[in-house]
């Protein structure tokens, strides 16, 4: 997964979607973030392949009481229902892959930019 993650230039691309889990590649621009979110019924695993960032998590949108700096080779586990965000604090794109269980995005999802991803999520109302 390291090479595909590092070679990815899209905000989000679902590279595999099954009945019970999904794998996506992500590239977060310098100074940008994934966007504060919670998945009510989906556990999430994130693996940083290159770059550095800052992860925040908590039980409520306005109470992110878990904060850590993360770097290449770090893994982040996000339980279903936890609010979370990952911000790129480095000077190059933050490259990672994430596993959702169950799948969180429609089969074949490709979001070139964060703006496209946010618009799609608002339009489709999926978590």
pLDDT digits (tens, 9 = 90+) for 32-65: 999 999 999 999 999 999 999 999 999 999 999 9
Domain ranges of the chain: 8-27+34-93+104-125
- Pick 4 or 30 by higher pLDDT: 30
Q: Which H or E run includes 71?
A: strand 66-71
- With contact defined as beta carbons under 8 Å apart, do 99 and 20 qualify? no
Residue (of 5, 3, 111, 112) closest to 48 by Cα position:
5
- What tens digit of pLDDT does each residue of 66-116 get? 999 999 999 999 999 999 999 999 999 999 999 999 888 777 888 888 887
The Cα-based distances of 2 to 74, 115, 123, 124, 126 in angstroms read 12, 25, 31, 30, 28
Of 19 and 114, the structure prediction assigns the larger pLDDT to 19
Give, rounded to a whole angstrom, the gap between the first and last alpha carbons of the chain.
24
Taking the model in full, what pTM does it have?
0.86
> Residue 59: helix, strand or coil by DSSP?
coil
Question: Residue 123: what pLDDT?
Answer: 63
- The reported pLDDT for the residue numbered 127 is 46
**CATH top class, domain 8-27+34-93+104-125:** mainly beta
Q: Do the beta carbons of residue 28 and residue 123 sit within 8 Å?
A: no
Q: Does the pLDDT of residue 126 top 50, yes or no?
A: no
């Amino acid at each position: 997964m390291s090479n595909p993650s590092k070679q990815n230039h899209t905000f989000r691309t679902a590279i595999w979607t099954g009945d019970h889990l999904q794998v996506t590649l992500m590239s977060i621009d310098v100074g940008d973030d994934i966007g504060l979110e919670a998945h009510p019924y989906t556990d999430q695993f994130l693996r940083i392949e290159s770059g550095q960032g800052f992860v925040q998590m908590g039980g409520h949108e306005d109470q992110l009481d878990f904060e850590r700096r993360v770097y290449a080779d770090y893994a982040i586990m996000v339980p279903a229902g936890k609010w979370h965000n990952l911000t790129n604090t480095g000077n190059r794109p933050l490259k990672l892959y994430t596993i959702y269980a169950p799948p969180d995005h429609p089969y074949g999802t490709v979001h070139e930019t964060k703006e496209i991803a946010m618009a799609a999520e608002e339009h489709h109302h999926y978590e």
